């Protein structure tokens, strides 16, 4: 599996049988500036959304129209994005549910966060619960994208049920857990072989580096990969 960080919480996963974008916030994402959009979208088969905030839904509808990719989202967000953008290749689910997607499956797990869109009329529209996404592949390591979240003790149940080998973890503080708390979540509740931090450095209001996370990971810091935006790792 090749994992490319596209800035903020956006990732591209390339496997032998699928090319997946998670939370494809590209337009307006300072962390994506300077990256090649064509490369980011090449061969995309699936778009997975953790929740309904604009910095996660991002360009999902436009990319789906351009590539024909299937969008996966919670039921409220899936209905909203399908209706507003005339999309038909939509897979909906909700917390605890698993959706088969060919060569992999996606399970909606808990996240402590909100999920809404503010429309042009200034009204906030709730778009279901925020989630993390647990991905199981036919022939690839299992991966958990935590979405936007704080630490919570039931992360231990997520690990017990799914045993994720790769963790994508928000560390930027203010809107998610910060680096030290994120490190505690990883060390106490999971046994990741590889960890990629995200949701930092993209906006001035967020922590600008992964330093606090790396320091708090202590002896487990060797498991952390910190690619630059547009950078990739192979697992």
* pLDDT tops 80 at residue 25: yes
Q: Residue 148: which domain range? A: 2-234
State the Cα–Cα distance between residues 215 and 133, nearest whole angstrom. 26
Residue range 19-42: average pLDDT?
96
Q: What is the pLDDT of residue 194?
A: 98
* pLDDT tops 80 at residue 120: no
Number of separate domains in the chain? 1
Q: Give the residues across from 131 on adjacent strands.
A: 110
* pLDDT tops 80 at residue 23: yes
pTM for the model: 0.97
CATH number of the domain bearing residue 158: 3.60.15.10
* pLDDT tops 90 at residue 117: no
Residue range 191-195: average pLDDT?
98
Sequence-separated (6 or more) residues with CB below 8 Å from residue 164: 134, 142, 143, 144, 158, 190, 192
Which of the two residues, 85 and 117, has the higher pLDDT score? 85
What's the number of CA atoms in the CB half-sphere (13 Å) around residue 193? 10
Label each residue of 27-69 as H, E or C: CCCCCCCCCCHHHHHCCCCEEECCCCCHHHHCCHHHHHHHHCC
Q: What is the pLDDT of residue 123?
A: 76
Residue range 134-163: average pLDDT?
98
Q: Which of 17-21, 115-119, 149-153 has the lowest mean pLDDT?
A: 115-119
Give the pLDDT band of residue 175 (cuts 50, 70, 90): very high
Count of CB atoms within 10 A of residue 207's CB?
Answer: 19
């Amino acid at each position: 599996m090749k994992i490319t960080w596209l800035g903020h919480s956006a990732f591209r996963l390339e496997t032998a049988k699928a090319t997946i974008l998670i939370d494809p916030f590209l337009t307006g994402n300072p962390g994506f500036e300077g990256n090649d959009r064509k490369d980011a979208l090449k061969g995309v088969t699936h778009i997975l959304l953790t929740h309904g905030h604009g910095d996660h839904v991002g360009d999902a509808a436009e990319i789906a129209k351009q590539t024909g990719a299937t969008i996966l989202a919670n039921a409220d967000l899936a209905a909203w994005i399908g209706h507003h953008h005339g999309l038909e290749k939509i897979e909906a689910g909700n917390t605890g549910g698993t959706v088969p997607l060919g060569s992999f499956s996606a399970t909606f797990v808990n996240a402590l966060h909100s999920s809404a869109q503010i429309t042009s009329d200034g009204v906030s529209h709730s778009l279901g619960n925020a989630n993390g996404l647990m991905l199981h592949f036919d022939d690839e390591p299992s991966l958990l994208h935590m979405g936007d979240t704080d630490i919570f003790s039931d992360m231990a149940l997520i690990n017990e049920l799914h045993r994720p080998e790769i963790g994508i973890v928000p560390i930027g503080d203010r809107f998610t857990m910060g680096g030290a708390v994120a490190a505690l979540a990883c060390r106490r509740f999971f046994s990741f072989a590889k960890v990629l931090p995200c949701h930092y450095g993209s906006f001035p209001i967020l922590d600008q580096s992964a330093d606090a996370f790396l320091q708090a990971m202590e002896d487990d810091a060797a498991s952390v990969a910190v690619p630059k935006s547009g950078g990739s790792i192979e697992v």
